[in-house]
Amino acid sequence: MEQTIGNSKKEISGNSAQQKGLKQHNRLQIIYVTYIIVALDITWMFVQIAVTPYLAKKLDFDTLWFGYLQTTVGVVQLLGGPICGRFADVFGARAALSLSCVASIVFFVLLAIADTPAMLFMHKLPVFFMHVLPASQMVVADLTEPEHRASALAKLGLCFGIGMIAGSMIGGNLNTMYGETFTSYVGAFGCTFTLLLILMFIPKTTKVQAPSTSINRENSERSKSIFSLAEITRLLKFPGIARIFLIKIISGLPSVIFQLMFTVIGMNFFKLEPAQTGYLMAYFGIAQMVIQGLVIGRVTTRYSDVSLLLLSIGVSALVGLAQAAMQNVFHFCLIVFPMMFSLSLFNTITDSMLTNSVPSSDTGTMMGLCASSQSLLRTIGPIIGGFLYEKYGVPSFGLIQCAVNSILVVYLLQYGLKKQETKQE
């Protein structure tokens, strides 16, 4: 096990040395353009979010059927995440990001012409290839040193906030004024512009070009197997990876359930119109920007990953308790900032821990697995969320989040104490 960790660290340090071949100016330019690409992609995603629930309502979808629609997205992305991650490792950043954008264009065109329940389900199929965020995380991880990686990945969250604000306001207002079809075509046009940015500024690959050795030749042959399940899942055998993934899934499930059901909560519990929902989502984005821009980057450089992981889960437990007690939109607005803090910190720290634990040649696959863990939650989340909403109401989401994360806090504290005792012995 120690030998595996040592090899991983050598690979990572080798990454830093090899990246000196890329000029600092060029590396920063690529990273900044990647941030812009992420902000634009999130913008179009939230434009879609402003369309889908209201179009589903026009097509007579109830809460359970809307849950099935969301589950379809989760299943398709669950299958596509690791494969697209391997695709990025093998064919490079430009090819992976371009494929994602082309799929997004098809996605919006199908949404624009969807006039039946079957078509609404069909338009979700291109999400198999829509993985701009994991591919962008791979680019940032490839071009940053391990000690600066958490801060660089946190800035992607800042881009997420910008996209959330822009997309929510654009989508909500366009949907209110011009309807779902026009709004969908705007999303398709926006994805086309993002594709042009990728083709102009993103290099073919951001991977380290290591000297040719027998080990590297073996890795090169192995990397050609894009669809090999063994090659994708072998990363889970690295020390600590499986445990982090398990924590990521268990802690993330209650939060994902609430996020997926939020549009339904906004329509039925808060009684919001499309434009009002857009403004509320923009408020989310402001909170995301403040947290990512002023807080996350600073705390990741001052405190250990384990301490920050424990903090994020503890805050999430308190947020769940507050969600169980909220009665109106004002109460929810008070909860947003601590909620975004816990989510942003949790995702940033877990992604940083995972990418720092694998060789640089596998960062795309690791980001694909991270995306698939979220897709797994989105697969089971809507069904659970629809059932809880119908049977027990909105407070049940918060109570489950509080209970699950409280148990995880106790587990992490006990795990830390046992680890200290082992070291002392």
In total, the chain counts a number of residues equal to: 425
Token code pair at residue 259: 């996020």
Q: Is 336 exposed, middle or buried (0-12, 13-18, 19+ CB in 10 A)?
A: middle
354-371 pLDDT, tens digit per residue, is 877 777 777 777 877 777
Give the Cα separation of 291 and 57 in Å (integer): 34
Of 194, 133, 141, 188, which Cα lies nearest the Cα of 160? 133
Query: Cα 41 to the chain's mean position, in Å?
Result: 12
**pLDDT < 70 positions in the chain:** 1-25, 63, 208-233, 274, 278, 416-425
Residue type (1 letter), 171: G
Of 110, 398, 374, 365, which Cα lies nearest the Cα of 233? 365
Of 220, 399, 202, 387, which Cα lies nearest the Cα of 318? 399
pLDDT of residue 157: 76
Of 336, 249, 366, 349, which Cα lies nearest the Cα of 305? 349
CATH number of 2-205+239-424: 1.20.1250.20
Give the Cα separation of 302 and 378 in Å (integer): 33
374-385 pLDDT, tens digit per residue, is 777 777 777 788
Q: Is 206:139 a contact under the CB 8 Å cutoff?
A: yes
pLDDT of residue 232: 67
pLDDT of residue 213: 44
Token code pair at residue 133: 């965020």
